[in-house]
Structure 1
Amino acid sequence: MDEQNTSAHGSDLSDVEKEAGSDYAHLTNTTIRSFGWQNVSVTVKDRQTKKPKLILSDATGIIQAGEMLALMGPSGSGKTTLLNVLAHREATSGAVVTKSLLVNGTKASRKDLRRISSYVEQEDALVGSLTVRETLYFAAQLSLPATISKSERLARINSLVAAFGLQGQSESLIGTPIRKGVSGGQKRRVSVASQLITSPKILFLDEPTSGLDSAASFEVINFLIVVASIHQPSTTTFELFDKLLLLSQGKVAYNGPVTGVRDYFAAIGQHMPLYMNPAEFIIQLVNTDFVQDQGKASQQLRQVHDAWSQSDAAADVVRQIETEISGTPTREADEAVSANPYLIPITLMHRSFIKSYRDVVAYGIRIAMYMGLAIMMGTVWLRLDTDQKNINAFTNAIFFGGAFMSFMAVAYIPAFLEDRQLFVKERMNGLYGPTAFMVANFLIGLPYLFIISFLFSIIAYWLGNFRPNAEGFWMWVMWLFLDLVAAESLVVLLSCLLPMFVVALAATAFANGLWMSVNGFMVQPGTLNVFWRYVFHYIDYQAYVFQGMMVNEFGKRTYTCGTDCHCMYPSALEPQCKVEGKAILQTYGFNTGSVDKYVGYMLLIILGYRLLGWLVMYLRKH
């Protein structure tokens, strides 16, 4: 790429970098001349034979500043695997990787690469309820040093919005399943722009075709080192790249200038038709999946691999890397400058707050569902009088309210999975870890869960004629609130363990069915099978909610024994033709003095779920 083009392409962002001051300059002051890799190999265990299987073999290459490299090959050729290795990410689950990554001829660690690079995923992990400008704003808040002023951040955001041709969509929502937002190509540009906030020197892109189709996008990313995996680009898109690394069955078939593709393959006897898309020709050449004569195709592919490994061009790539290594003294990497870690949870909470009131899926639909449940429950158990014939009805209502409020927390799964997907992307880019995410997720949900508990109780509690005083009402609200917090914490844990909607939904439903069965309502705790009692009952948060609500209703209330004065529950008030509520509690083995203990157990269970969720997120790297 000539000097004139490089200067023109980099002009938009260089002005912003100068305006950002010394702190911003410190972040981006490392001059990157080249990025290289030597003998990259990836081995996995074959699922059928259980023997080691080489899926990427001795890939070597180098790319200079200002160049764009296309990783191409048929499906299963190793493109994404190589891209992950180059970005210092996990290649694939259970893989054994050998590699040597070089920046300016010096070996680069994971920390070094994350400081100077960004990775754009194949799937656009964006918050659909944020606008384009807000998406870039939060990317800046999470990744730029806290010392950079607000005006400098806004200047960088405005520059990226303009450079990517998003001025007309800057205040548009990204888009949710319910609310239409920007187009797919515009989402791709937003994804790339959000990764350019820190002015990375190396940009890794997984299948970025829609983003690269935009001339405005290309104007920005052209001055970086760009490594992009791409499936089958058009001729125009293919010609945007400077270099091509072609893979097939994990081996290199070509690694050199895009302009030299036609001559190279002609030299090894594979002549390209004059007006054919070069990308289409080479993919067909190395793809053996749909060839009838597999033997002939495999032999031809071996010849292509051998021709490259023995070529002068392959030797030239090795010489370029050796020249970089010999010409660069080893040095310590500059200290990374990142966002203030103490402000990251606040930023995440701010982003989640915007999402929570805009995205009706997160809490809006849940509030509507709970209000519908409250109306149904209040009208079914409408104004029950305090006669002993209604004692079972009151008990059933207590179980139903607590159990189904808990069960309906499954509606939170889609919103959490969207948050988790964004967390995975931002964690892989080194922005923050699971602690900040879990703290922000927990705190932002508390006000909404309290609102749900309060609104539900206003309807269901008074329509059902539960203990009619302020103390009884607020104790009911407290138990429902703890119930919902525990239920949502369970959803978070299971969605972290099983991050697929249908699977997480099934697991959460099963868990709630288990808790309903052993919470003490179906079978009283004293007669519950010892296995279920000691293994599950005592860790069942629904059990403590049920006990607490039962004590709240029956601990300070009496019931009449009917016209014949035959009391179903013997108590000290039987001579007065009344049933003391505590007599009902005794049949379940519940003690009115255990409320504080029940609350303590609930808090421990909630904390346990959250800690386990944090542990799962900490141990899982993707």
Structure 2
Amino acid sequence: MPPLHNIAPNQGTFPATVASPEVASLPLSTDMSELRPPPLPSSRFIIQVGMFPITLKFEEVLYKVKVEKKGRGSSKTILKGLTGMVSPGEILAMLGPSGSGKTTLLTALGGRRLSGKLSGNITYNGQLLSGSIKRRTGFVAQDDVLYPHLTVLETLLFTALLRLPSSLTWEEKLRHVEGVISDLGLGHCRSSMIGGPLFRGISGGEKKRVSIGQEMIINPSLLLLDEPTSGLDSTTAQMIINTVKRLASGGRTVVTTIHQPSSRLYHMFDKVILLSDGSPIYYGPASMALDYFSSIGFSSAMTVNPADLLLDLANGSFSFSPGSTDAMEEGESTEQEKSLVRETLRSAYDKNISTRLKAELCNMDIVSSRTFTKGRETKAEQWCTSWRYQFKVLLQRGLRERRFDSFNRLRIFQVISVAVLGGFLWWQTPTSHIADRTGLLFFFSVFWGFYPLYNAVFTFPQERRILIKERSSGMYRLSSYFLSRTAGDLPLELALPTAFVCIIYWMGGLRPDPAAFILSLLVVLYSVLVSQSLGLAFGAILMDVKQATTLASVTTMVFLIAGGYYVQSIPPFIEWLKYLSYSYYCYRLLLGVQYSEDDRYECPERQWCRVGDFPPVKAVGLDKLWIDVCIMGLMLVGYRLVAYVALRRALS
């Protein structure tokens, strides 16, 4: 297979006879690390993403954020009028000290979300950012945002399935993944899990390469990288930049931030923009940077790494006295001298570079290599894959990622131990002990009304970073993700309550009727889904685990008290609380499955009493249970809709 960087931008499209891909229906037990693509003739290209050159131009980019200072709101300018252009085949490196605005500018160029006010003009082939451009843009963030329980191969393969066009078959996408793994030197860890805070996986450098590999998958026309060599040794960093250089030489536009590159890496860049406190102090060819600064009186008598000298200048750590040409040692410059150096450099930029650069950009006629029309092109390029295809891939990925988390030993032990302990406490409760039986039924409604809620609260806050990353790349529709997440949770979240009911129902001596058992199980599972829906809504609305957990605690406490068991005569002015509690409806339904109002039980003094007259049962009633089913159904749908709308708003 030819590597991705060797595919020319203007090659023909892939033959139209290729069959539409279908997600392989692989069982969860399948070891995807053993998957190998079938051999294809070497003369046949494996991929054709339809890449076309993109010329990126940005003019007078300003970015301001609001800050609180002594109780007053004010704004702080992060980017101060940045201008430049990157053409296909070029690498633009953004240099500057920490806090100079490199990542902010890169985020703006990639069309990613910024919380402040962005102004200026950023165009791609002379046009504003569109969905088609976003799907041809690769963005590698500084932090590696990956699913911890997926292997390297699974991570890249699911990315390929979602981001590569439908004209490619599953086998061809797999072959592409193998090529990326080979290019990045990840073959030795292809079957290793990514890892996370709670368990060890691949190394930090390998995670960085996987993140880059996710963007290389799509054969991007525009590649943006934020500190791609951060945390890597010099050899690995050299390999990464070599790969990026080859990608650029194939007609791609590359922009990268880099903190302190070695001399070898610096000379691989075509252009450099040097930032100091959000202001540009140099823009131009990397090879001309030292000559420029020497021409305005800033040069070093020693042979140094150009990047080191540029960073010294950006920090203002340079002597500024007549006839002095040597950089001062660290710590010698005062803050006043640093400010004077930076101000001198900004003035020199405005005089020598800024005016000329703006004139060149104004006179330059950027001709797009491909015309985008507002009708046909937008519709054709709206999404790389269909909604149904995205749903299937996301469902399979979700099942593979969460199979370890949902069925880990701790959760299984927690649920089974509670079921067994409860079974012993309510062991074969006699029919005459109706108070104990109703207590067991209320325990059903409470435990499986609150346990899923707390688990669901973590769902969207924990996946927010991944969602932002993947949605910003145009990988899939939010609706396909949301519904696949909902469907994928069903077998994983309903298995444990099923085991719980099977254990405690028969140990507790409840009604020994298969129909009653099945109905009780269905009611509990119904309550689990409603509880989970409310937890998803809390998490999506707040997008903060601590806040959502606090809200869930207050809610569960209210539902517990108003559930109809502890307080049977609620004052009228606050009685409405119980109608908000799904635990109340679940409790009523479970009572309705076990009893009817005309059933009899042995009450004190050897008498037979009517179940409907038993105070706890009489307080909730057993009539019109179908209304309870409908109300819980409305809660189920309503909470899910709220969660979806809140999630869309949080990611917009």
> TM-score, with normalisation over the residues of structure 1?
0.86
Q: Distance in 1 between matches of 2:464 and 2:85?
A: 34
Structure 1 position 605 matched with structure 2 position 624: no
Separation in 2, partners of 1:444, 1:329: 42
Instruction: Confirm or deny that 1:457 pairs with 2:501.
Output: yes
Give the aligned residue type for 2:106: L
Partners in 2 of 1:236 and 1:530 — Cα distance? 76
Indicate how the Cα distance of structure 1 residues 29 and 188 shifts in structure 2: closer, same or farther if over 3 A, else same.
closer
CA, structure 1 residues 398+171, in 2 after alignment: closer, same or farther (shift >3 Å)? same
Deviation digits for residues 59-99 of structure 1 (CA, Å, limit 9, x no counterpart): 101112222222233333222221121112222x2x22222
Q: 1:99 is paired with a residue of what secondary structure?
A: strand
Separation in 2 of the partners of 1:233 and 1:479?
62
Letter in 2 for 1:527: I
Q: CA separation in 1, counterparts of 2:635 and 2:301?
A: 68
Tell me, yes or no, if the aligned pair for 2:162 and 2:385 is still in contact at 8 Å: yes
Offset of residue 552 of structure 1: 2.6
Task: Tell whether the 8 Å contact from 2:52 to 2:370 is kept in structure 1 after alignment.
Answer: no
Distance 1:328 1:348 in 2: 34
Q: Distance in 2 between matches of 1:473 and 1:585?
A: 25
Aligned ranges 1:222-241 → 2 under 5 Å: 222=245, 223=248, 224-241=252-269
* Secondary structure in structure 1 of the residue aligned to 2:85: strand
- Which of 350, 361, 375 is the aligned partner of 1:321? 361
Candidates 44, 50, 53, aligned match of 1:31: 53
- Give the Cα–Cα distance (whole angstroms) in 1 for the partners of residues 11 and 399 of structure 2: 31
Counterpart code for 1:465: G
Cα separation, partners in 2 of 1:153 and 1:587, compared to 1, 3 Å:
closer
Structure 1 residues 545 and 109: CA distance shift in structure 2, 3 A: same
Instruction: Provide the residue aligned with 1:523 in structure 2.
Output: 567
Which is further off, 330-339 or 608-617? 330-339
* 1:396 pairs with 2:439: yes
Q: Does 1:115 align with 2:156?
A: no
Is 1:246–1:252's contact at 8 Å kept on the other side of the alignment? Answer: yes
Q: In structure 2, what is the equivalent of residue 356 of structure 1?
A: 402
Q: How does 1:63-82 map to 2 (within 5 A)?
A: 63-82=86-105
Q: Distance in 1 between matches of 2:552 and 2:424?
A: 28
Moved more, 168-177 or 327-336: 327-336
The alpha carbon displacement at 1:541 in A equals 1.5
Instruction: Provide the rounded CA distance (Å) in 2 between the counterparts of 1:155 and 1:230.
Output: 31
Question: Which of the residues 387, 391, 399 maps onto 1:345?
Answer: 391
Change (3 A) 1:204 1:156: same
CA contact (8 A) 2:135 2:475 kept: no
Please tell me whether the aligned partners of residues 14 and 48 of structure 2 are also in contact (alpha carbons under 8 angstroms). Answer: no
User: C-alpha deviations, 1:506-554, integer Å up to 9, x for none?
Assistant: 3333332232232222323x524624x33x4322222211222233334
Percent identity (aligned):
25
Residue correspondence of structure 1 range 303-322 to structure 2 within 5 A: 303-311=344-352, 313-322=353-362
The aligned length equals: 592
Equivalent-residue separation in structure 2 for 1:370 and 1:558 (angstroms): 33
1:591 deviation in Å? Answer: 3.3
Pairwise CA distance, 1:197: 1.8
- 2: distance between equivalents of 1:399 and 1:196? 54
Q: What one-letter code is carried by the residue in structure 1 that aligns with 2:201?
A: G
3-state SS of the aligned residue for 1:342?
helix
Which residue, out of 332, 348, 358, partners 2:372? 332
Residue 152 of structure 1: aligned partner: 172
Contact residue 88 and residue 110 of structure 1 kept, 8 A? no
Amino acid at match of 2:357: V
**Which residue number corresponds to residue 487 of structure 2?**
443
Q: TM-score, normalised by structure 2?
A: 0.83
Q: Does 1:468 align with 2:512?
A: yes
Partner of 2:327: none
1:178 CA displacement: 4.5
1:44-83 pair list within 5 angstroms = 44-48=65-69, 49-83=72-106
Unaligned runs of 5+ in 1: 1-7, 566-576
Name the residue aligned to 2:611: 581
Q: Deviations over 1:577-615 (max 9, x none)?
A: 123322236754333232222121112111111111110
- Output the CA distance in 2 between the equivalents of 1:108 and 1:80: 20
User: Match of 1:370, as an amino acid?
Assistant: V
CA distance in 1, matches of 2:413, 2:513: 26
Which has the larger displacement, 168-177 or 258-267?
A: 258-267
Given the superposition, is the C-alpha separation of residues 73 and 561 from structure 1 closer, same or farther in structure 2, using an over 3 Å criterion? same
Q: 1:247 is paired with a residue of what secondary structure? A: strand
**CA distance in 2: counterparts of 1:254 and 1:301, whole angstroms:** 12
Q: 1:141 aligns with which of 161, 175, 193?
A: 161
C-alpha contact 1:74 1:286 (8 A) present in aligned 2 = yes
Q: CA deviation at 1:315?
A: 3.9
Task: Using the TM superposition, name which of 81-90 and 581-590 deviates more.
Answer: 581-590
Q: CA deviation at 1:487?
A: 2.0
Is 2:580 the partner of 1:539? Answer: yes
Name which of 275, 286, 311 aligns with 1:283: 311
Structure 2 residues without counterparts, runs of 5 or longer: 19-45, 318-329
Q: Which residue of 2 aligns with 1:379?
A: 424
Partner Cα separation in structure 2 for residue 9 and residue 541 of structure 1: 56
In the superposition, relative to structure 1, how do residues 360 and 368 fare at CA in structure 2: closer, same or farther (>3 Å)?
Answer: farther
Q: Contact 1:476 / 1:552 at 8 angstroms: preserved in 2?
A: yes
For the aligned residues, what is the CA RMSD? 3.1
Amino acid at match of 1:55: I
3-state SS in 2 of match to 1:77? coil
Does residue 54 of structure 2 align to residue 42 of structure 1?
Answer: no
State the Cα distance separating 1:352 from its structure 2 match.
0.8
- 1:141-195 deviations in Å (ceiling 9; x for gaps): 1112222122321221121111111112222222244543221111111111112
Decide which of 174, 196, 201 is 2:194's aligned counterpart: 174
